Amino acid sequence: MSSFEKEIRRLHLTRCFGRAAARFVAVAVLLLLLGLALCVGDYLYGWETGVRIALVAAVLGVCGLAVLFALTRSFMTPLGETARNADSLASSGRRLAQCAQSLPEVEGDGLNSFLSSRLREEAREELRGISTGSRWSAGMVGRALLALGVVGVVGFVLVRSNPEAAGVVWQRLTQPNADVAPWSPLKFEVGPEGAEVLFGGSLSVEARLSGAEVTEDVYCLVRRPGSKSVERLRALRDHRGHYVRELEQVVDSLQIAFASGRARSAWMPVEVLLQPKIIEAQVSISPPAYSGLDEVAWLLETNAVKALQGSEVRVVARSHRPLSGGVLSLMPADGRKDALPEGLAGELIEEHRVAFAWTAGLSGQVSVDVEDVRGTAGAAPLEFSFQAMPDRAPVVDMTAPGPMVLATPQSELKLEGEVSDDFGLNKIQIVRSLVGLRDRAEVLADSLRKKRFEFGSPLALAELGVKPGQTLEFY
C-alpha cells in the first residue's frame, strides 16, 4: 500500500468518527426536542397511562432509528467521497486526491510510472495540509453542539419556571407504567387511608382539595384492579368543604381516586374484608372418671349442650377462612358475671380450626367468636345454651326394719332397702352402730356400674352379742 493510500484511509477514518460524533449529538438534540414536546403535552393534557406508554415507545423508536442512520451514514461512506471532500478542503483546486484515488498505480521505470508516483506524492502532501479541525468535521460537530446547547437552555428555563410540575411530568414520562397523577395546582388529600370495608358493606370516601380554586365538578373515580374501565361518580361537598362519596354494597376490591377537570389524585386501594363464618362445630365431653361414663363427641346441630359438672368440655369451631384465633364467653344463667370474665382464648389447631376447652361448672349461654388471619371478626357468633348438671347424692331407702323397732337379743331382723343414683353407683356399704362401741361396716356391693341396687338379708341379733337395753343403728 502506497503512502497516499495510507494517508487517504487515515483521513477517511478520522472523518467517519468526526461525522459520527456530530450525528450522535444531533440524535441527542432530537431526543431532547421530542422529550420537551412530550413534557409540554403531558403538562397540558395529563395523558393516561396507555397514551404515555405509546408516545414514549414512539420517541425511543425514532431515536433508535436515528442512531442506526447515524452509524450507517458515518461509517459506510465510500472512500471516493472522502477524496472529493478532501479536494474541496484543499486550496489548490486541482482535485489531486480524486485523481490519485481513481487512477491505478503504474509500476516500472517509464514515464507513466514517474507521473503516477509524482501525482500520488503531491496528493499525499495536499492531504497532510488539511487542518485537524477539517479532518474531524469540527464545523459539523460545532453546529450540533450549538443546537444541543440551545435546546438545553430552553429545557432548563422550562424546568426552572415550574420545578414541581417538571418533577411530576418527568416521573410520569420516565415511569409511564407507574400510577403518578397528572400535575395540577390542585392538591388532593384522599381518605380514609388504608380503606377497608366488609364484604357487601358501605364505605364513605372523601377528598380535601387545596392549592387552587375548584372551578369544575369533582368526581370520585372507581375501578377494579387491572381493569381499564373507570366509573365516574359525582362527589358532594359537605359542611367542612370536603368532597364525599358513599360506596354501597362493595363486594370486590377497588381503586378510587378523585378528579376535577384534568386534575386527579393518585389511585387509592379499597380492600374488601371477607368475614369468617363458623360452618361447623364439634363438641366433645369427657365426664369425671368416678362417673364411669364414656367420652362422647358429636357435631353440634342443636342449640343446647349438657354435661356433668366437672366434665372436660371441648368445642372445635371450623371456618371457611384461615383463622388466627377466637374467644369463647359464658354468661351464667343465674346472672353472675364471673364465669369467664376475660373470655376463653381459643387454641389454633389447624389453619381453619380453633379449639376451646374448659371444665363444666356453671350453666349459661355460650358465645363463640372467631377472627381470621387479617384480624376480621366473624360475621356472627356461634351461640348455644350450656347446662352443667350437678351430681346429686345417692338416695337410700331402707324399707325394713322400720324407723323404730323393739326386739329381744334372740330376735332376727330383716334388712331390706334400695339405693339409687342419677349417674351410677360404685360401692355400697351398710354400717351398724352400737351405742358406746365403734361402727362396723359391711360391703354389700363393690365396683358397681348400676344406677339402682336392691338389697335384703336377715340379721341375727344373737350373733352380734347385743344385750337388753342396748340401741342398734343402721345406715
pLDDT in tens, 38-50: 999 988 888 888 8
Res. 473 pLDDT band, cuts 50 70 90: low
Report DSSP state, residue 334.
T
User: Are residues 374 and 273 in contact, defined by beta-carbon separation less than 8 angstroms?
Assistant: yes
CB-count exposure of residue 229 (10 Å: 0-12, 13-18, 19+): exposed
Query: Taking CA 277 as the corner, what is the angle to CA 273 and CA 283, rounded to the nearest 5 degrees?
Result: 150
Average pLDDT over residues 447-471: 68
Res. 310 pLDDT band, cuts 50 70 90: confident
For residues 372 and 271, what is the distance between their CA atoms, to the nearest angstrom?
15
* pLDDT more than 70, % of the chain: 74
Pairing of strands 268-273, 196-198: parallel
Among candidates 51, 48, 52, which has minimal Cα distance to 223? 48
Average pLDDT over residues 84-104: 63
More confident residue, 54 or 109: 54
More confident residue, 256 or 436: 256
User: Are residues 309 and 362 in contact, defined by beta-carbon separation less than 8 angstroms?
Assistant: no
Separate counts of helices (H) and strands (E) for the chain: 9, 24
For residues 48 and 172, what is the distance between their CA atoms, to the nearest angstrom?
10
Asked whether residue 157 carries a pLDDT value surpassing 60, the answer given is yes
For residues 230 and 220, what is the distance between their CA atoms, to the nearest angstrom?
10
Dihedral through CA 28, CA 34, CA 36, CA 38, nearest 10?
-140
Give the other-Cβ count within 10 Å of 149's Cβ: 11
What is the reported pLDDT for 365? 86
Res. 244 pLDDT band, cuts 50 70 90: very high
Asked whether residue 266 carries a pLDDT value surpassing 90, the answer given is no
DSSP E strands in 216-346: the ranges are 218-223, 231-234, 236-237, 243-250, 254-260, 263-264, 268-273, 278-286, 296-299, 304-308, 312-319, 323-332, 344-345
Q: Is the peptide bond before 104 cis (omega within 30 degrees of 0)?
A: no
Res. 77 pLDDT band, cuts 50 70 90: confident
Res. 284 pLDDT band, cuts 50 70 90: very high
What is the reported pLDDT for 447? 65
Res. 434 pLDDT band, cuts 50 70 90: low
User: How far is CA 24 from each of CA 38, 317, 333, 408, rounded to the nearest angstrom?
Assistant: 21, 72, 90, 140
Ranges 153-157, 262-266, 382-386, 458-462: which has the least confidence: 458-462
Asked whether residue 208 carries a pLDDT value surpassing 90, the answer given is yes
Ranges 105-119, 210-224, 245-259, 273-287: which has the least confidence: 105-119
What is the reported pLDDT for 153? 92
Q: Which three cell numbers stand for residue 204?
A: 364513605
Among candidates 464, 421, 420, which has minimal Cα distance to 442? 464
Q: Where are the alpha helices (DSSP H) in 270-407?
A: none
More confident residue, 386 or 395: 386
What is the reported pLDDT for 71? 85
Q: Is the peptide bond before 401 cis (omega within 30 degrees of 0)?
A: yes
Asked whether residue 429 carries a pLDDT value surpassing 70, the answer given is yes
